[in-house]
Copies of this chain bind each other. A is one copy, B any other.
Amino acid sequence: MRTPICELLGIELPLLAFSHCRDVVAAVTNAGGLGVLGAASHTPEQLEHELRWIDDNVAGRPYGVDLIAPATYAGKGEGRDTVGLWDLIPDGHRKFVDELLAAHGVEPHDPPSAGQRHRPRLTEEHARECLDIAFAHPISLIANALGVPPAYMVERGKSAGVAVAALVGTKAHAVRQVEAGVDIIVAQGSEAGGHVGEVSTMVLVPEVVDAVRQVSAGGPPVPVLAAGGIVNGAQMAAALALGAAGVWTGSVWLTCEEAETAPATKAKFVAAGSSDTVRSRSRTGKPSRQLRSAWTDAWEDAAAPPALPMPVQSLLSEPALRRVDRLAESGHEGARELATYFVGQGVGLMNRVRPAREVVYTMAEEFAAAVERLGTLLDED
């Protein structure tokens, strides 16, 4: 099952696995795919720690790092730390969150104190620092999860011989990415977890493959990975039928044995159907897909305040939701109702907790079975 992306990245299976959990990254890489560590929510110190662990556990096999290096965000260029950013949150928003938590029996969260003063994530400064750390390790891929990678990321990739990938939700963005020098396009359908656009995988992938082929005229086209809703090998075959060079997966790893997903949320994921997600600005300020919960319902209500711009909304939502996760784990009923996390519609197909390695092998088997079944249809003509 080798495609051009396998040659480019030195992997056996055209399967990339995005995860915030180092164990998943190493397990997928060791099983023949490519694990990509999502580092947007790591501090630089945490990232260094995780990458060192991965280096010690993949025996030189290829892996990647995914960052969010946003082009525009609130407070850009103002040098605000987390305490300074907190001042950008209107009183009405703080009150809304406090009341939402209180209605579920959860204490309000305090504003960050001087002791919690640090450089905010989802900013250029944070991305640059993480990039320095990533490039000090033997990475094979660096990805930008939101928008065109900044020139400093593309140039760094080129000079180090590291493939630069970027996620897109529209054809127009794919063309801009190729023109900016990106090596791998991840066409991510609206059914994906996390930051997503509105076009589905079934339509977006062939549309992007065609557009990238046109804009690459002259040279070999930039490979396109399909993302969004893909959690099994039949879907992987479907993605390759659509013209993708491989698949980029995320949600499926959240219910792995190794995953760091909060236990109450993992249990919700296993029980959820595909209709149980919502695309909402309430977590990061940009539209992202996540499990529907009392938290997302409240923000979708007509009476809710509008989400704040990135990275301010995260400052409001993340500490509250981390507190919720801790309480949910101890059985707190209100916290269980609020608990949520990024996940795609593929959650409806994620019904068992398995080791990541088993997921990879099963996907490879399902892929082969689907392709053989399709071949039989042609043979019968």
Known: A228-B200, A241-B237. A372 touches B368 (CB 8 A): no
Q: Could you tell me if B235 and A206 are in contact, using CB atoms closer than 8 angstroms?
A: yes
Set of chain B residues within 8 Å of A228, measured between Cβ atoms = 200, 202
How far, in angstroms, from A374 to B368 measured CA to CA in the complex?
Answer: 9
| Beta-carbon contacts under 8 Å, A236-253 to B | 237-243
Chain B nearest Cβ from A117, distance in angstroms: 39
A288 close to chain B: CB less than 8 A: no
A348 — which chain B residues lie within 8 A by C-beta? 171, 199, 203, 207
Q: Are B370 and A241 in contact (CB under 8 A)?
A: yes
Contact status B349-A207, CB under 8 Å = yes
Q: How far is the CB of A360 from chain B (nearest CB, A)?
A: 15
Q: Chain A 207-249, CB within 8 Å of chain B: the 1/0 string?
A: 1001000000000000000001110101101111111000000
Q: Which A positions have Cβ atoms within 8 angstroms of B?
A: 1-3, 170-172, 189-191, 197-204, 206-207, 210, 228-230, 232, 234-235, 237-243, 273-275, 344-346, 348-349, 368, 370-375, 377-378, 380-381
16 additional contacts, CB 8 Å, given A199-B345, A241-B241? A170-B275, A171-B273, A172-B273, A191-B200, A199-B274, A202-B202, A202-B228, A202-B230, A203-B349, A207-B274, A210-B349, A238-B242, A241-B374, A368-B378, A372-B378, A375-B375
